[in-house]
Amino acid sequence: MSSPSPSAYDENETPKAGPKRTGEWPLFEVFIRGQHGLSHRHVGSLHAPDAAMAIKNARDVYTRRNEGVSIWVVEAEAIHASAPGDKEALYDPANDKVYRHPTFFDVPDEVGHM
Amino acid sequence: MSDALFEALLRLGDNTLVLGHRVSEWCGKAPVLEEDIALANTALDLIGQTQMWLGYAAEVEGAGRTADDLAMLRDVWDFRNILMVERPNMDFGHTMMRQFLFDAYHRAALRGLSISTDPRVAEIAAKAVKEATYHLERSAETVIALGDGTQVSHDKMQAALDLLWPYVGEMFESDAVDAQISDAGIAPDPATLRGGWDTYVQGVMAEATLSIPEDSFAHRGGRTGARHTEHLGHMLTQMQWLQRAYPDATW
């Protein structure tokens, strides 16, 4: 059997418009509560067609080894984040304000570990 | 009695073994990463249940065999799984339809088994029914999503349902072994599970916009070992290869 002969490249031919791919599922961020009493922590992300399926997928992807007692999923695009470029303005001013840390109080010994 | 119990345990363990192996064949090549992991989890659940069923079967038999011996050293005619679970995976839709039809049966059967008069059976079933409940939630949701999805996914799911329907009847078949086991209160008679299964499956299919075939013809022969499909032998050559080529190999 021989391979089919290649057709000559025609630069004037408009490329065929293939069907547009619309199949990408939205991205969800996954938060898991490890134990009762702890807060939910971000553990990663995954794709799913909807929120209900995202929870199921999160159960399979992130709680296989008994990691959690509760799952939250949030569509990634619903999360608003600070801009990395604003880092200096946002965080640097706090650097030299040590008085904001509650380290200037003498804690009586009887209080023990706080 | 112990002969019937051994037979009944093989039927339980071989269903989960063969389906577990089939589902594991998707590992690394499912349509999306999340489904890949979910399918692998399902396969592992089923193999875990197999270890318990076949482990107990080996004890009941009392011939010095282990669960591993039963899984890896029997040939086709000694397997007691229903024909549906040995069918090849084909496409993802077919795999999920098969999973759904089985899960719906499996959950009902395990619920009955969890109140078994045999404490070992009840214990294994109580653990397995939680897994089966999750499998069913997942497969039902997928069947609905794909059935009531695009024209292409709908057609594929309808084709899968049409193809698998003749394999449904065998799940609810009863014979002398079932009669003996259900009389002793060890397991529900499969025939009694059909009504609830039908109602549940009809509900899901309606939501999935799929039509259930009217023909009630049923292939049989798997759970009695009388006649397996040609697919099981091919599957065993893969599944048992290592043990057959390197008997008692360890790592």
pLDDT reading at A3 higher than 70: no
Compute the radius of gyration of chain B from its Cα atoms: 18
Nearest CA in chain A to B136: A56
Residue A85 pLDDT grade (very low, low, confident, very high; cuts 50, 70, 90): confident
Quick one: pLDDT at residue A17? Answer: 58
DSSP string, A35-104: STTSPEEEEEEEE-SSHHHHHHHHHHHH-TTS--SEEEEEEGGG-----GGGHHHHHGGGTT-GGGSS-S
Does B51 reside within a domain? yes
Q: Do A46 and B38 touch (CB under 8 A)?
A: no
In the prediction, which pLDDT does A1 show? 45
State yes or no: pLDDT of A2 exceeds 60: no
In a domain, B250, yes or no: no
Enumerate residues 84 to 113 of chain A having a beta carbon within 8 A of any beta carbon in chain B: none
Residue B241 belongs to a domain with what CATH number?
1.20.1260.10
Quick check: A61 and B32 CB within 8 A? no
Residue segments in chain B with a per-residue pLDDT below the cut of 70: none
Mean pLDDT of A27-40: 92
* pLDDT of A22 over the 80 cut: no
- This prediction has a pTM of 0.85
Q: What is the mean pLDDT of residues A22-27?
A: 81
- B176 belongs to a structural domain: yes
Asked whether the predicted pLDDT for residue A96 surpasses 60, the reply is yes
The tally of domains found in chain B comes to 1
pLDDT digit string, tens, across residues B71-102: 999 999 999 999 999 999 999 999 999 999 99
ipTM score assigned to the predicted complex: 0.73
Interface contact flag, A57 B38, Cβ < 8 Å: yes
B251 within a domain of the structure (yes/no): no
What is the per-residue pLDDT for A100?
81
Determine whether the interchain pair A46/B33 forms a contact, defined as Cβ–Cβ distance below 8 Å: yes
Q: Choosing among B26, B33, B34, which should be mutated to test the A contact, i.e. which has the most A CBs within 10 A?
A: B34
User: In 3D, which of A56, A30, A93, A7 has the Cα closest to residue B39?
Assistant: A56
User: What 3 state SS string does chain B have?
Assistant: CHHHHHHHHHHHHHHHHHHHHHHHCCCCCCCCHHHHHHHHHHHHHHHHHHHHHHHHHHHHHCCCCCHHHHHHCCCHHHCCCCHHHHCCCCCHHHHHHHHHHHHHHHHHHHHHHCCCCCHHHHHHHHHHHHHHHHHHHHHHHHHHHHHCCCHHHHHHHHHHHHHHHHHCHHHHCCCHHHHHHHHCCCCCCHHHHHHHHHHHHHHHHHHCCCCCCCCCCCCCCCCCCCCCCHHHHHHHHHHCHHHHHCCCCCC
Q: Which domain holds residue B190?
A: 2-212+221-245
